Amino acid sequence: MERTVVLIKPDGIQRGLVGEIMHRFERKGLKLVGLKMVTMTDAMLDSWYVHHKDKPFFETLKTFMEWTPVVAMVWEGLEAVAAVRKIVGITKAREAEAGSIRGDFGMSGSQNIIHASDSLESAEKELGLIFNADEIFDYESGMDSLIYSKGEA
């Protein structure tokens, strides 16, 4: 099973979308294995967004991400990285597919409500930046046999 990291960004918090967003992942059949509120620091963001450090929007992005705490979650499931990215939608929210979180709730390409890991490698790195080992939970979900067929997961 894959694990992937999702952040509800400060605009998602301010707009009261936390419950709506979590509900979508739950209904999909993903399993919540980590959840916390966290204030992103400059040092965390420098590492989180290292691939954007030379972009003109880098400083604005960091200021935005430090506006309020974020809600950080780890969701587990079969090919969870790709499944979660589909639910999230593309970066530019006004062009994101209707039915996706960004497509349903956003217009901006920067204040786009939510972050999701773009690969297993990013997920591992992001998980390590936010969560301690004892904040990730291994448990039996009663839903597993309803969500997946025998031998599939």
Annotated binding site for ATP: 9, 57, 85, 91, 102, 112
Helix-helix angle 80-88:18-28, to 10 degrees: 140
Residues touching ligand CMP, count (CB under 6 A): 8
Between residues 36 and 85, which has the closer beta carbon with respect to ligand CMP?
Answer: 85
HSE-CB of 84 using CA atoms within 13 angstroms = 32
Contact 93, 101 (CB under 8 A): no
Quick one: 31 or 115, whose CB is closer to ligand CMP? 115
51 as an active site residue: the answer is: no
Which of 23, 51, 52, 115 is labelled catalytic?
Answer: 115
Q: How far apart are CA 30 and CA 79, in angstroms?
A: 10
Q: Which of 115, 117, 126, 130 binds ligand CMP (CB under 6 A)?
A: 115
DSSP label at residue 136:
S
Q: Enumerate residues 44-103 that contact ligand CMP by CB under 6 A.
A: 52, 57, 61, 91
Closest C-alpha among 116, 114, 90, 84 to residue 103: 90
Residue 112 binds ligand CMP (CB under 6 A): yes
CA–CA dist 23, 21 (Å, integer): 5
List the end-to-end C-alpha distance of the chain, in Å, as a whole number: 7
Kindly tell me which residue out of 110, 121, 128, 137 binds ligand CMP, with binding defined by CB under 6 A: 110
**Least CB distance from residue 140 to ligand CMP, whole Å?**
32
Q: Which is nearer to ligand CMP, 39 or 110 (CB)?
A: 110
Residue 30 or 88: the one with the smaller Cβ distance to ligand CMP is 88
Closest CA to 10 of 38, 44, 49: 38
Kindly list the residues in this chain that would bind ligand CMP in the complex (CB under 6 A).
52, 57, 61, 91, 109-110, 112, 115
